[in-house]
A and B are shown apart, each in its own frame.
Chain A
Amino acid sequence: MTADASTAGSLRARSLASRTLPRTVLAGAAAGAVAVTLLLFAVTPLQGVADFLVAAAVLVVVSVTGLTLAVEGRRRAVDRLATSGALLALVLTLLPLGFTLGYTAYRGGKRLSADFLTHSMAGVGPLSPRGGIYHAIIGTLEQVLLASLIAVPVGLLVAIYVTEYGRNVFGTAIRFLVDVMTGIPSIVAGLFVLAFWVLALHKGFSGFAGSIALAILELPIVVRSAEEMIRLVPASLREASYALGVPKWKTILRIVLPTAATGITTGVMLAIARVTGETAPVLLVVGNNNFIHTNPFKGPQASLPLYVFQGAGSSSNLDVDRAWAAALTLILIVVVLYVAARLLTRRNSLVGR
């Protein structure tokens, strides 16, 4: 194989083509590196899956790059090294995500059932394997919906003001404040609502109190993402609209926002997903409840993050299993919302992406 490669290489060297390693040789080198690692782990005291993967990855990269350097030259070798580096980074990034999703699906999938989704924890004894999260799903959906009803319209209006009208001190100040708001820890938002709404105004625990706290957290995310998307709309489209005699407000409403709609939806969905999983403010101001309670404006309500939080800390394995299933449900709700929103905007914009 080496002889074949070198004769072909010397023939091609006269033309523009440089010497190239066949893919099979590279695959062979990689396989060889893995084999060497296996041998190392069998003979030396090295052990463990993670160690093996790291050692194998390093050896594969070294052998492939070295082989390339010897046959194809420095430029190709650097290219291979950089490509391997990028691939490794990708794998390292995806691993935690994959494990989180996979393990949640594995642990939660065992307990998840139609029965689990449609029943509350009312009257479920400490040794009963029954019970469900219907009350928590209702609580989460209502709280997040109310929070979004506050944060999304306000956030969009702020983003429009900042991008289209706020070329002044006031606009700069708003942008700065939104940046500051992005940094508010969720527990602080929760404490604020607890002190102001629940205690000082005597409103008591309620789903809506949680919505206020969640809206405070959601607002800056909506503003920042919508702002970025609106800025991406080319000035030429605005000018085209102005040149047709369309007033500015109508241009924003009918040209700018529809053009940015896909991006804005993604940003809004990410904001919603982010607050759907918030536990701290809910813990402080919503209270908790084992029963189906549909009125978000009065009395403590359950919610999925809180359900997971309490179940995970319980000494009963039954509670822990239910918590995993609730966590999986939480992920699924976010995924469903996200996909639905993307499908909706794709249908509305002709060009898509």
Chain B
Amino acid sequence: MAKRIETVGLSCFYGKTKAVDDVTISIEPKSVTAFIGPSGCGKSTFLRALNRMHEVVPGARIEGQVLLDDEDIYAPEIDAAAVRRTIGMVFQRPNPFPTMSIYDNVAAGLRLNGVRRKSDLDSAVERSLRSANLWDEVRSRLGKPGAGLSGGQQQRLCIARAIAVEPQVLLMDEPCSALDPISTLAIEDLIFELKDRYTIVIVTHNMQQAARVSDVTAFFTLRGPGEPGYLVEADTTQKIFTNPSEKRTEDYITGRFG
């Protein structure tokens, strides 16, 4: 099920501005990889390049390669929509579809990709909501608007929506930054459970969170204002947080950055 993602010399651009410079990294299946680093270091941009969400922004483009189990997802014959079906994404702010009920939100991905059978949708919705630890809270009000849930519930709804289409990889862009500690804990527990089945990449500003949930941590930074971000090092989370190879990593982790 879960697939490996590799990037080879990946650089990301917004028009003429280079945002991420020459990143080569391998992201292992069935593990959690955390991207940490200061604001503006390009970790979100890099994450969005992994499922071709980067190119949604006008003028955005990449150089280099992104390989999903050795298949180049930027090859001309590859359909971006198919890539995104395989590599799902959860955003910083919960963004349920406001015109849809809880049920319809979770079923949206399947429905919009052509699944019609009521029984298929029913089982997928229940399975996804159970996986997202939201089923017990919403089972009695599946027909109510998704926007009526609390922030933490909305974010779990978005995770349920993302995993309903059964992706191989789940990208999470600071999924807890808009949430309180209890909702954050719920999402972190969820990430821990999901890693049995998915390859998970999470961008976070919270180093404790990276230390708690991830197996591998990648540290990004930038050389100065206006410079593109780059990958300093990626290693097991244990090693990054106790004995990093690079001085810059250690400075950032211990709070002596800048």
| Cα distance A26–B131 in the bound complex, in angstroms | 63
Main secondary structure of the interface of A (DSSP, over half): helix
| Cα distance A348–B86 in the bound complex, in angstroms | 31
Question: Is the C-beta of A340 less than 8 angstroms from some C-beta in chain B?
Answer: no
Question: Is the C-beta of B100 less than 8 angstroms from some C-beta in chain A?
Answer: yes
- CB distance A254 to B112 under 8 Å? yes
- CB distance A240 to B95 under 8 Å? yes
B182 to chain A, nearest CB (A): 24
- CB distance B95 to A349 under 8 Å? no
- CB distance B56 to A242 under 8 Å? yes
- CB distance A246 to B98 under 8 Å? no
- CB distance A234 to B95 under 8 Å? yes
Task: Say yes or no: A245-B97 contact (C-beta < 8 A), given A240-B158, A250-B112.
Answer: no
For A, the interface residue count at a CB cutoff of 8 angstroms equals 25
- CB distance B85 to A244 under 8 Å? yes
A143 to chain B, nearest CB (A): 33
Instruction: Pick from A237, A243, A246, A254: contact of B89, CB below 8 A.
Output: A243
| Cα distance A297–B112 in the bound complex, in angstroms | 41
Most B CB contacts (10 A, CB to CB) among A240, A243, A247, A251 go to A243
**Interface band, chain B:** 20 to 34
Task: Say yes or no: A245-B53 contact (C-beta < 8 A), given A237-B95, A237-B98, A350-B101.
Answer: no
Task: Say yes or no: A244-B91 contact (C-beta < 8 A), given A254-B112, A349-B99.
Answer: no
A227 to chain B, nearest CB (A): 17
Question: Is the C-beta of B177 less than 8 angstroms from some C-beta in chain A?
Answer: no
| Cα distance A250–B100 in the bound complex, in angstroms | 16
- CB distance B109 to A245 under 8 Å? yes
Other than A240-B97, A244-B112, A350-B99, give 11 A-B pairs with Cβ distance below 8 A: A237-B98, A238-B56, A241-B97, A241-B108, A244-B109, A245-B81, A245-B84, A246-B113, A351-B98, A351-B99, A351-B147
A-B contact pairs, 5 of them (CB 8 A): A243-B84, A243-B162, A245-B85, A245-B165, A254-B112
Chain A residues engaging chain B, CB cutoff 8 angstroms? 167, 234, 236-247, 250-251, 254-255, 258-259, 261, 348-351
